[in-house]
Copies of this chain bind each other. A is one copy, B any other.
Amino acid sequence: MSSQPPHPTLLIPGPIEFDDEVLQSMSHYSQSHVSAPFVNTFGEVLTMLRQLFLTTNPASQPFVISGSGTLGWDMVAANLVEPGDDVLVLHTGYFADSFADCFETYGIKATQLKAPIGDRPQQDEVEKALKEKDYKMITITHTDTSTGVLSEIKSLSSLIHRVSPETLIVVDGVCSVGCEELRFDDWDLDCVITASQKAIGCPAGLSIVMASGRAIERFKARKSPPGSYFGSWKNWLPIMQNYEAKKPSYFATPSPQLIHALHTSLTQILSKPLEDRFRIHRETSEKIKKAVSDLGLKQLASKPENQANGMTAIYLPEGMTPPDVLPTLMKKGVVFAGGLHKEIAAKYVRFGHMGVSVTDPKRDDIDKALKALKEGLVEVGYKVPA
């Protein structure tokens, strides 16, 4: 039995439904941010993040800072590149536009390589682009939350290392870390940013970053100071290193309650093999995508290989808009999200399937949602194909 009061099941691509124990950790009594027990908890969180990102290289550096996932972009733009540098941004939806805006704020020249809606830039296009300029960095949105398009990080990384070995590889994993396969060391990545409230299963309010030794060296070799103060690794790097060494130190006050909740969710995630976690998310996603297809509906992500495993963006039947459908789903106790990609926002809805809704056998969130989707569409006039 859940200790949470009855509420509509949140199946948007973040925030997700949270486990009881994680939510209880949010109520932790007040602790000093420099007390031994809290420093210990924070240090363990950083060490567990290494396991979650599948990095054993001691040069890798985790960061956990109060803020939203967006703050991760600022950290990348303000610490890892310098004003005037060129950055190649692979575009698979809304979030690449915003990341590019973030780079421009810090004086970085962002060139976007765009794919048609529902697709991702092709490897030959990426190779061609990398040969055209001296890009200091390339950014890839692993899952774009606006479209549900999945990027192919492993083969892209090997392409980039071959064609442009000095280019730092940065992954926006806000909607992927914790549900998609992501291997920081094996795939030779330089920086992955994420947030607490999606597949990691901890309430929103934490920006989470993993940086490679190469990224940290690049940061240390900067000619100009970092472009942000709150996001400056000059301020945060010693703090994170101290926390992991279980030594108290202070730059800005962390949120002990959120850190406790993250500790609980990471402990739960790491209590089972990550391979199982990736597989369950993949199998559940396949089931959902088949059900969507059986309803005669199309996804934004146009091919099986570019469809995310933690969410599905679904085109509504011709003539229907999210305000026609979402309230009906809500009446059935299920919350989906509307569209977010500017050009087509009125034509689709988004179904998030990450975390406990997928992994906890005591929940029937996914079946309930698929049933609600079918019945809800019928109620508003849709005729399911025979």
A residues with a Cβ closer than 8 A to B are 4-5, 7, 10, 12, 14-18, 23-24, 26-35, 66-71, 73-74, 77, 101-102, 105-106, 195, 197, 203-205, 225-232, 250-258, 335, 337, 340
Cβ A256 vs Cβ B204 within 8 A: yes
Can you spell out 29 A-B residue pairs with CB atoms less than 8 angstroms apart? A4-B29, A10-B31, A12-B32, A15-B33, A15-B253, A23-B257, A26-B26, A26-B27, A66-B71, A66-B205, A67-B67, A67-B230, A68-B254, A69-B252, A70-B229, A70-B230, A70-B252, A70-B253, A74-B228, A105-B232, A106-B229, A195-B253, A197-B253, A203-B258, A204-B256, A204-B257, A205-B258, A227-B227, A255-B258
Nearest 6 A-B pairs (CB), nearest first? Answer: A205-B255, A70-B252, A68-B252, A26-B26, A102-B229, A105-B229
The distance from the CB of A290 to the nearest CB of chain B, in whole angstroms, is 26
Q: How far is the CA of A366 from the CA of B283 in the complex (A)?
A: 57
Cβ B255 vs Cβ A204 within 8 A: yes
* Chain A at the B interface: SS class: loop
The distance from the CB of A19 to the nearest CB of chain B, in whole angstroms, is 10
The distance from the CB of A208 to the nearest CB of chain B, in whole angstroms, is 13
Cβ A105 vs Cβ B227 within 8 A: yes
Pick the residue among B16, B204, B226, B230 that contacts A71 (CB under 8 A): B230
Cβ A5 vs Cβ B29 within 8 A: yes
Task: With A204-B255, A204-B256, A228-B228 given, name 19 new contacts (CB 8 A).
Answer: A14-B253, A15-B33, A15-B256, A23-B28, A30-B203, A32-B337, A66-B66, A66-B71, A66-B205, A67-B71, A68-B254, A68-B255, A71-B252, A105-B225, A195-B253, A204-B254, A205-B258, A227-B227, A230-B230
Cβ A335 vs Cβ B71 within 8 A: no
Interface centre among A15, A229, A251, A255 (most CB of B within 10 A): A229
Number of copies: 2
Q: How far is the CA of A128 from the CA of B34 in the complex (A)?
A: 40
Q: How far is the CA of A5 from the CA of B29 in the complex (A)?
A: 7
Cβ A27 vs Cβ B30 within 8 A: no
Cβ A229 vs Cβ B101 within 8 A: yes
Pick the residue among B18, B32, B73 that contacts A30 (CB under 8 A): B18
Cβ B16 vs Cβ A30 within 8 A: yes
The distance from the CB of A337 to the nearest CB of chain B, in whole angstroms, is 7
Neighbouring B residues of A67 by C-beta, 8 Å: 66-67, 71, 230
Closest to A99 in B: B229
Q: How far is the CA of A253 from the CA of B340 in the complex (A)?
A: 13
Q: How far is the CA of A275 from the CA of B102 in the complex (A)?
A: 43
The distance from the CB of A185 to the nearest CB of chain B, in whole angstroms, is 28
Q: How far is the CA of A195 from the CA of B31 in the complex (A)?
A: 16
Q: How far is the CA of A229 from the CA of B101 in the complex (A)?
A: 8
Interface centre among A26, A71, A251, A258 (most CB of B within 10 A): A26
Q: How far is the CA of A32 from the CA of B251 in the complex (A)?
A: 31
The distance from the CB of A205 to the nearest CB of chain B, in whole angstroms, is 3
Pick the residue among B26, B204, B230, B252 that contacts A253 (CB under 8 A): B204
Cβ B29 vs Cβ A70 within 8 A: no
Closest to A340 in B: B250
